[in-house]
Amino acid sequence: MLIDGQAPTGGDHHHLALVNYGAYTAFRIEGGGVRGLDRHLARLEASAVELFGEPVGEDRLRGFLRTAMADREEAWLRVSLFSPEIWPRTPSARVQPRVLTVVSPPPPPLATEVRLQVRTYARELPHIKHTATFGLIHARRQAREAGLDDALFADAAGRISEGPSWNIGFLAGDTVVWPQAPMLAGVAQSLIQDHLAGVGLSGVTEPVFLSDLDRFDGAFFCNSATPACAVTAIDARRFTPDDRLGQIAAAWSAAPVQGI
């Protein structure tokens, strides 16, 4: 764990333990590079401006990533933005955020297949990958207590958006249908979409409601740790995984690894 490339102080730990305000991204390091690194960095910079009023600077971000990685070629890296000048009593500071980097071994995929429970829920500021995770953990906990594996979010009208830490895609023949709703535009989702044509699929984005589920013959979720996980059930609706999941995984693998 480093903050701005240096070991954190006790004051840093104190703030991080008490104040849950910030943005982050996380990704796998493969051969010293990252799939979609430019998109991760662009999203961090946009979040820095929106949440703190100032960008970090892409060159600074890349420098902190290189320092955190040292000579590692394979790892999992989480990059978080925060500021000790922003807390409940002083929320208005405009400041360049500090950069927290945490390196760990590459995690396994979240799952190979999941059964989802629909939860009526939407994240705060859903377009930002922010550090407020209470609602996400609670929704996943509730789904597991009900005997399923994870949660799928929909609004009061039944419009599907996303999961706690991933994007969902639906399959209709050779077409991937991405839900259109207030949500986080995931890097894994965008990389898969960019390379669908190369694996014999196409992709569209449109509103998807719970009442639409019968028109799909498959579903999956994706994020940077889990490029293609089969969804086998959404509440009572069942799906049977097939070879198209391999095509989705191949679309992810077709994205180039970018150097830091």
- Written as tens digits, the pLDDT of the chain (260 aa) is 999 999 998 888 999 999 999 999 999 999 999 999 999 999 999 999 999 999 999 999 999 999 999 989 999 999 999 999 999 999 999 999 999 999 999 999 999 999 999 999 999 999 999 999 999 999 999 999 999 999 999 999 999 999 999 999 999 999 999 999 999 999 999 999 999 999 999 999 999 999 999 999 999 999 999 999 999 999 999 999 999 999 999 999 999 999 99
* The pair of three-digit structure tokens given for residue 88, joined into one six-digit string: 């409940």
Provide the token pair at 32: 């010293």
Fold category of 2-104 in CATH = D-amino Acid Aminotransferase; Chain A, domain 1 (3.30.470)
Locate the domains of the chain by residue range: 2-104, 113-259
Q: Give the β-pairing of 167-172 and 237-238.
A: unpaired
What 3-state class would DSSP assign to 105?
A: coil
* CA dihedral angle for residue 110, residue 3, residue 41, residue 260, rounded to 10 degrees: -90
Residue 4: count of CB within 10 angstroms of its CB:
16
CATH for 113-259, options being 3.20.10.10, 3.40.50.261, 2.60.120.330, 3.40.50.150: 3.20.10.10
In angstroms, rounded to a whole number, what is the distance separating the alpha carbons of residues 56 and 99? 8
pLDDT digits (tens, 9 = 90+) for 5-32: 999 988 889 999 999 999 999 999 999 9
